Structure 1
Amino acid sequence: MSTDYKFEGWVGIDASSADGKMEWQQFEPKPWEETDVDIKITHCGICGSDLHTLRSGWGPTEYPCCVGHEIIGTVVRVGSEVKDIQLGDRVGVGAQGESCLGRKGDCEDCATSNEPYCKRHFTGTYNGQFMNGGKSYGGYALYNRSPAHFVVKIPDSLSSAAAAPMLCGGVTVYSPLKHYGAGPGKAVGIIGVGGLGHFGVLFAKALGADKVVGISRKADKREDVLKMGADMYIATGEDEDWLEKNRRSLDLIICTVSSSKMPISDYVSLLKRDGTFIQVGVPEDGSLAIPAFILVMNRVKLGGSLIGSPEVIREMLELAAEKKVQPWIEERPMKEANKAILDMNEGIARYRYVLVNEN
């Protein structure tokens, strides 16, 4: 069945696309299945993963590649096997487009709403391949086609611009915060208060943590982070004796920094006995060292976390609506996507860009 709309968007042709050289092109979405929906895109957040992928930072990218996995829009086509989504619904798509969903037999991960960890199959919303052989293309575009299982409805009280960056950036920190018990009675640290980290501050407060501490190298974000609701801010590059003053003061740390050069032993030393350090940033420049001495001496845990399942995304959006979580965003026209990714890479965003299709 043909459609009266075209799938067009900003496409990376090679690694130079990360230098603001994406090209507007038509592309072929995955072959239609009756479990799919087509979405007319209104908003798409810019995520750090987009830049990593455009420049082949996490491994070779399958060019051509249209990035963007914080997609919001209106449903314009619905497969006959889709039960809970209708034409005209306002919906979103996060960073995952497909898992095995039991198609190859029992899958404990998918059965327990842990689709991001499906050991049989994972298709990213872009730069991936679906089980029907089609390629996945993201949201720097006019339209998106995705399996309905990974499409979520957006609560009426959340604006599309606010909801978009929650679909990857927000849930990447919300998921471990919830899973590891960031709530009443807990002191939570967020390392790297940028696009991801500012969501960490917002959701740690929304979950009811007693104490939320923003941690970055420079002091220039201190005022912003305190306005977001943090109880304290540590500038590791400027605050004198920051480690000694704050040693063993936190129950949980979420680290968004994507660099193998960060002082991980110092950061882990901020944990109380039996505390937990969760890494969500993935360095391009190598692996993280294991701070074995600190782990052993303080009986702390070191782990990681990946995005969130559709169920977790829905839960996060409901909490955001209830608690009136408002990310710090700046809307940018879709036509200026190349300039926007350059500004994102330069760290100019305060704290998240959202591309908007003006038509």
Structure 2
Amino acid sequence: MTAPDYKFEGWLASDASAANGTMQWKEFEPKKWEETDIDIKITHCGICGSDLHTLRSGWGPTNYPCCVGHEIVGIAVRVGSQAEGNIKVGDRVGVGAQGESCLGRKGHCNECASGNERFCARHWAGTYDGIFMNGDKSYGGYALYNRSHSHFVVKIPDALPSAHAAPMLCGGTTTYTPLKENGCGPGKSVGVIGVGGLGHFAILFAKALGADQVVAISRKGNKRNDALALGASSYIATDEDENWSQEHGRSLDLIICTVSSSKMPLAQYVSLLKVHGTLIQLGNPDDGFLTVPAGSLIIQNAKLGGSMIGSPGDIREMLQLAADKGLKPWVKERPMKDANQAIMDMEDGKARYRYVLVNEW
């Protein structure tokens, strides 16, 4: 196959100041082409909280220069002869937060063999700021084109608009997967801590999976109407009701916590669980460590766990559910050229509830 006639260009961060809106538009060199790869002409890319953490080296040193963005939707323009997924040139496809695992390599790990590629312990490369097995860097979706291993590229259902599908590829599956794995469904009461980019997806998917009650939990009451419009049954504003943990104690089967702060009242959140209930932590603070509320866990026989993104199979399942249920995430499209301003607006909490960058082809 002849080399492509397009260039890989995007917004590159050169240091941690990029989180303050100093990304620069430059050309970059994608991973060397392999016949298992797919090139995507990017039309949409969601802005994820992980992008901000990475831009400022919040979770550890970022390998600059870095192009973030792992909620990518676009058109397949080059498909390798050994590509997976029955994807053809011209198909509308997407790629989420993971770009490679050890799957397909000799002696691949048990996690990859069982469809849990997201937990691969031998080799895990992110869609951006990762290193592929061939030694090349991964570059994300604040760009014109993306090159990804076909195993992690999925088709987008026709019924889903690209601007809706893009933020589902990380934000959506990060909430859908633990809901599914922890029994969300009819007869269950589910709490969602944090009504933001992740939290609004958690409300949508908890309702789509059939939960009887979905309780939105936030510090202030200013998102109450939004949460109810998204499908929440009720709302708790923790800063405005000093007795909230007592009034709502032992009322929830499952809690999904999307907050990324080491200062949140985790013991009080656990007290909202029924006996044998489960709290799943999604937010990963970069301002310190969470303290395990051992006493609360013990007296309620409760479980505290975590979850990250979703494997390709989870993503396909989630996208189909969203298409079947007609889910409509709350997104605002922003021109790709305005990415610097968009990430600053995201950091300032202005998104209601996800920004999606759009290339003006």
TM range (shorter): over 0.9
The offset of 1:102, in angstroms, is 4.2
Partner of 1:72: 73
Deviations 1:211-240 (A, max 9, x none): 000001010000000000000010101134
CA RMSD of aligned residues (A): 0.7
Give unpaired runs (5+ residues) of structure 1.
Answer: none
> Quick one: distance in 2 between partners of 1:253 and 1:104?
39
> Quick one: distance in 2 between partners of 1:113 and 1:205?
26
Partner of 1:210: 212
Partner of 1:100: 102
Letter in 2 for 1:169: G
Partner of 1:345: 347
Q: What SS is found at the alignment partner of 1:220?
A: coil
> Quick one: distance in 2 between partners of 1:334 and 1:102?
35
Letter in 2 for 1:334: M
Give unpaired runs (5+ residues) of structure 2.
Answer: none
Segment drifting more, 282-291 vs 146-155 = 282-291
Partner of 1:12: 13
* Percent identity between the two aligned chains: 71
Partner of 2:225: 223
Letter in 1 for 2:61: P
The offset of 1:86, in angstroms, is 0.4
The verdict on how the C-alpha distance between 1:180 and 1:229 changes in structure 2, with shifts beyond 3 A counting, is same
Partner of 1:45: 46
Q: What SS is found at the alignment partner of 1:28?
A: coil
The offset of 1:135, in angstroms, is 0.6
Deviations 1:128-153 (A, max 9, x none): 00001111000000000000000000
Partner of 2:157: 155
Letter in 2 for 1:246: H
The offset of 1:285, in angstroms, is 1.2
Q: What SS is found at the alignment partner of 1:158?
A: coil
Deviations 1:251-279 (A, max 9, x none): 00010110110000000000000000000
Partner of 1:262: 264
Segment drifting more, 211-220 vs 99-108 = 99-108
Q: Give the alignment of 1:1-359 within 5 angstroms.
A: 1-83=2-84, 84-359=86-361
> Quick one: distance in 1 between partners of 2:59 and 2:106?
28
> Quick one: distance in 1 between partners of 2:41 and 2:183?
37
> Quick one: distance in 2 between partners of 1:198 and 1:351?
7
Letter in 2 for 1:242: W
Letter in 2 for 1:213: V
Give the TM-score of the pair, scaled to structure 2.
Answer: 0.99
Give the TM-score of the pair, scaled to structure 1.
Answer: 0.99
Q: What SS is found at the alignment partner of 1:196?
A: helix
Letter in 1 for 2:150: A
Count of residue pairs the alignment pairs up: 359
> Quick one: distance in 2 between partners of 1:8 and 1:324?
34
> Quick one: distance in 2 between partners of 1:78 and 1:106?
24
> Quick one: distance in 2 between partners of 1:275 and 1:98?
34
